[in-house]
């Protein structure tokens, strides 16, 4: 009783029952408790460790699961995999080791299945690969319509060219705001180019050739000021070439051939120095009018110039001889008149000179005899006289 009355801050005070134990018993009890705690400690650490590992693993599985499910859905839509390109696409293999699949930090960032002999439809599940930056399914046998890809806000390169895709180009594709290269060429697409294409401010290459696209070339392209390639050949575009075609300071390749375009070449295209332009294909349209006298002064780096199968008329400007790097010049099947300019003798890199089916007269310029790189010369179906230099 006296012990209980003595004030203290020991364990006995917090646990009154200890006051009934002798000192020996208390020592044994404390040792037993300590031993028990030491036995439990490793289990607790292991448990915590496993919990952490399990949590981390579950997070990784969760991150990959959407990508894996999306790709397996894509595989199920394939009706013919003759080259067995997708045999590794199985849950028993790590996702990032699958054929054509490239990852970063465990997420699918690139799907490259170019020319794998795949047939079927492109599953809309690809629209769930939200970390995707490159999608290349070109040169296969895909059919059906373009899947909705508007959730792919990281997508930079999209190549679905040389398939058998039908339908229209969805306007939602323009939600892929980081898109730099768009290739839908050599398909069976129809309809007009979405007006919203001007929202793709990072776009540098647009290839839509060899489809059944109609309408006019959208002036909203002018918003894509970084464009380097505009290739719309072999479609059914009508109207005139927009003045905006001359507003791209980095334009290298302009292909508008094989359409039903009319009018003349816009002044903006040759009024200002197009120092970056190397390839200009306007053949097989209904373009006309005359070429201005300074036409050749504004394309210092042009390599290919093709205006054949149109309705151009008048004399050829002598300034064409100033395009020193020109290798291909095709003005056949037009209504040009006059003499073949002697300044063509300055085109030291010229390999192809094709002026057939026009109304040229006079003698073949002797200067053409000095073109050492020339391999193809066609001046047939004109009113020329004399011999070949």
Q: What is the CATH number of the domain that holds 380?
A: 3.80.10.10
d(CA 350, CA 304): 10
- Pair 222, 199: CB distance under 8 Å: no
The total number of structural domains that make up the chain: 1
Per cent of the chain over pLDDT 90 is 76
Q: What is the mean pLDDT of the chain?
A: 86
Helix/strand/coil for 376: strand
Which of the 8 DSSP states describes residue 359? E
258 pLDDT more than 60? yes
d(CA 370, CA 102): 53
Give the per-residue pLDDT at 63.
Answer: 59
Flag whether 31 is in a domain: no
Flag whether 131 is in a domain: yes
Flag whether 29 is in a domain: no
Q: Which of 157, 254, 265, 250 is nearest to 209 (CA)?
A: 254
- Angle among Cα 91, 96, 100 to the nearest 5 degrees reads 100
Flag whether 196 is in a domain: yes
Flag whether 8 is in a domain: no
In terms of pTM, does the model score above 0.75? yes
Give the per-residue pLDDT at 2.
Answer: 32
Give the per-residue pLDDT at 275.
Answer: 84
301 pLDDT more than 60? yes
- Pair 202, 226: CB distance under 8 Å: yes
Give the per-residue pLDDT at 41.
Answer: 42
- Pair 188, 166: CB distance under 8 Å: yes
pLDDT mean over 211-227:
93
d(CA 349, CA 244): 30
- Pair 235, 213: CB distance under 8 Å: yes
With bands split at pLDDT 50, 70 and 90, how would you rate the model's confidence at 273?
Answer: low
Which residues contact residue 56 at a Cβ distance below 8 angstroms, ignoring those fewer than 6 apart?
none
Domain, as residue range, for 269:
66-385
Query: In DSSP terms, which residues pair with 312 in a beta bridge?
Result: 289
- Pair 250, 278: CB distance under 8 Å: no
Flag whether 33 is in a domain: no
Give the per-residue pLDDT at 8.
Answer: 33
d(CA 201, CA 178): 8
Flag whether 56 is in a domain: no
- Pair 364, 386: CB distance under 8 Å: yes
Which residues contact residue 90 at a Cβ distance below 8 angstroms, ignoring those fewer than 6 apart?
none
Q: Which of 73, 82, 135, 130 is nearest to 107 (CA)?
A: 130
Find the DSSP H helices in the chain: 2-5, 11-14, 23-76, 267-271
- Pair 111, 70: CB distance under 8 Å: no
Flag whether 281 is in a domain: yes
């Amino acid at each position: 009783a006296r012990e209980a009355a003595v004030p203290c801050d020991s364990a006995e005070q917090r646990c009154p029952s200890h006051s009934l134990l002798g000192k020996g018993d208390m020592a044994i009890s404390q040792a037993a408790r300590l031993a028990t705690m030491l036995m439990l400690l490793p289990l607790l650490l292991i448990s915590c460790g496993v919990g952490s590992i399990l949590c981390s693993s579950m997070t990784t599985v969760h991150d990959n699961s959407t990508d894996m499910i999306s790709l397996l859905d894509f595989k199920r839509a394939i009706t013919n995999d003759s080259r067995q390109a997708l045999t590794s696409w199985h849950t028993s293999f790590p996702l990032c080791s699958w054929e054509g699949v490239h990852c970063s930090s465990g997420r699918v960032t690139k799907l490259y299945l170019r020319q794998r002999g795949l047939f079927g439809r492109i599953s809309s599940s690809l629209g769930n690969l939200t970390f995707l930056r490159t999608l290349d399914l070109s040169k296969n046998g895909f059919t059906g319509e373009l899947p909705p890809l508007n959730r792919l806000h990281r997508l930079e390169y999209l190549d679905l060219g040389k398939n058998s895709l039908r339908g229209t180009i969805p306007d939602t594709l323009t939600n892929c705001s980081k898109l730099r290269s768009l290739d839908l060429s050599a398909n069976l697409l129809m309809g007009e180019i979405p007006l919203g294409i001007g929202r793709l401010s990072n776009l540098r290459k647009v290839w839509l050739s060899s489809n059944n696209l109609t309408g006019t070339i959208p002036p909203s392209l002018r918003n894509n000021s970084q464009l380097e390639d505009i290739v719309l050949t072999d479609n059914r575009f009508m109207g005139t070439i927009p003045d905006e075609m001359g507003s791209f300071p980095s334009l290298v390749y302009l292909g508008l051939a094989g359409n039903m375009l009319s009018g003349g070449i816009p002044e903006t295209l040759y009024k200002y120095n197009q120092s970056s332009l190397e390839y200009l294909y306007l053949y097989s349209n209904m373009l006309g009018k005359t070429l201005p006298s300074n036409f050749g002064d504004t394309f210092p780096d042009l390599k290919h110039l093709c205006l054949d199968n149109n309705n151009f008329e008048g004399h050829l400007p002598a300034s064409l001889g100033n395009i020193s790097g020109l290798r291909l010049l095709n003005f056949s099947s037009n209504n040009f008149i006059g003499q073949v300019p002697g300044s063509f003798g300055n085109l030291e890199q010229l390999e192809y000179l094709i002026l057939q089916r026009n109304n040229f007269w006079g003698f073949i310029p002797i200067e053409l005899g000095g073109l050492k790189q020339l391999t193809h010369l066609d001046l047939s179906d004109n009113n020329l006289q004399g011999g070949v230099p």
